[in-house]
Amino acid sequence: MSLRPSIQQVLEGLRREGQVDTLAESRARTTLEVHQRISTASPWFVKAFAAFGAWVSAVFLLSFFVCVGLWREEEIFTVVGLVLVVAATALRRFVQGVFLEQLTLAVTLAGVGTVATGLAHFASDDAGVGAVLVISLALLFVYPDATMRFLATLGAGGAGLYLLLRWVPGPGMDLGLLAFTGLLHWLFLQQARLRTGRFGTLLGPVSFALACGLPAAMLTRLASFGRGSIDGHVTLPLPLLTLGLTAIALYTAWHVMREHDLSPSGTQGAAVFAALTLVAVLTVHTPAVISAVGLLTLGFHRRSSLMVGIATAFLLASGAWYYYDLSVTLLAKAIALAGSGLILLGLRLFLSRRFPQTPPPVEAR
């Protein structure tokens, strides 16, 4: 069985349940053919050259501001950046085409950078980062483009972690990581309900931006601050951070089992919860490992190949970081890495033998 079922498999399942009629497959094929013709109207290299030309145009625009010395006037530089953001956002809502879409995207990003740089020069670094946070949150709702929403989520998340680190010295970044991890898991678990809501178009860009940003932030936290302090302020102990991430992973496993009509209090639930707990205990000083396992659970639950790929890369990077951690003995590393792998393999073997899956019935044609 593939990670993501085909449209034909989905329609066959819905037809067996009586949710769609026999003509649903032909209507779906017609819609897909129209979409295919529209999406391939321009060759990929034409779109690539148009996008490249748009970004070059934006670079020339910024170089003009630099050549006339506008960057020396911080107040004017900030106002110009804000005008660029507003104008490009308004233009993007009314234009179509690869060149104009990429041009407005580049000008908007340049405007955000201009505003942040200007405020940081004549006010403070916190003011510049705060401007990035506010503008990114605004663009998330008003800019009609998935790429910009992805980048805006990354910008808002990074700015939020920076401000937490500055305003809540010590545990601020750890609390932010826990909050963003909880938000990511909630978005994926409630995906079906949220997609039909008012802000359903935001779900994909925001979810995958968090999925890409959290591993980078978690590894940065381990590499830069380790188990010590930040500017003299004591951070959260790594076992405590691991405990919070483990609680989120356990809740995700509980929710997934209930969604698949499995009993969390039965044998399956006990095996899954025990495996997650043992992995967390073995890697208690590397919270990135249990965080990666949680992301992997979300990826398989939603059958997202991209999410599984991100989680796998994160898990490998976390394991490599744990292996090269000089504060852990070689014997402890070997036991933890081998034990984690054996636990996951044993869980897979136990569930496949104890609860074998029967293939769905195939209709005769």
Choose the final residue of a domain: 144, 167, 190: 167
Does 364 fall in a domain?
A: no
Residue-wise pLDDT tens digits, 44-102: 566 677 767 777 877 787 787 778 777 778 888 889 889 999 999 999 888 887 788 88
Question: What total of structural domains would you count in the chain?
Answer: 2
The answer to the question of residue 350 being in a domain is yes
Angle at 331 between CA 330 and CA 335, to 5 degrees: 120
Which pLDDT does position 39 carry in this prediction? 58
Please indicate, yes or no, if residue 4 is contained in any of the structural domains: no
Per the listing, tokens 């170089």 go with 63
Low-confidence ranges of the chain (pLDDT < 70): 1-5, 34-47, 51, 225-234, 326-328, 347-365
Tens of pLDDT along 263-295? 777 777 788 888 888 888 888 888 888 999 999
Domain for residue 13, yes or no? no
Distance CA 250, CA 182 (A): 12
Q: Dihedral sign, CA of 72, 74, 79, 84?
A: positive
| 88 and 215 both lie in a single domain | no
> Residue 33 domain-assigned?
no
Q: What local confidence, expressed as pLDDT, does residue 326 receive?
A: 63
Q: Is 76 within the bounds of a domain?
A: yes
Burial class (CB in 10 A: 0-12, 13-18, 19+), 312: middle
On whether both 209 and 264 belong to a single domain, the answer is: yes
Give the ranges where the chain is alpha helix by DSSP (H): 7-16, 24-39, 44-67, 74-92, 98-122, 125-142, 146-167, 172-189, 191-195, 200-225, 238-259, 267-282, 287-301, 305-323, 330-354
* Residues 263 and 339 reside in one and the same domain: yes
* Rg for the chain, CA atoms, rounded: 24
**What pLDDT sits at residue 3?**
58
Q: Same structural domain for residues 182 and 320?
A: yes
Per-residue pLDDT, 152: 93
Same domain, 126 and 219: no
Distance of alpha carbon 246 from alpha carbon 338, whole angstroms = 19
Instruction: Verify that 258 and 213 share a domain, yes or no.
Output: yes
Q: Are residues 120 and 192 in the same domain?
A: no
DSSP three-state, residue 234? strand
pTM: 0.80
Task: Give the list of residues 6+ apart from residue 255 with CB closer than 8 angstroms, or none.
Answer: 189
In a domain, 302, yes or no: yes
286 and 185 share a domain?
yes
106 shares its domain with 191: no
Domain holding 87, by residue range, is 42-167
The pLDDT score that the predictor gives to residue 89 is 92
Please tell me whether residues 162 and 85 are part of one structural domain.
yes
> Do 184 and 295 have their domain in common?
yes
Q: Are residues 217 and 111 in the same domain?
A: no
Let me know if residue 7 belongs to a domain: no
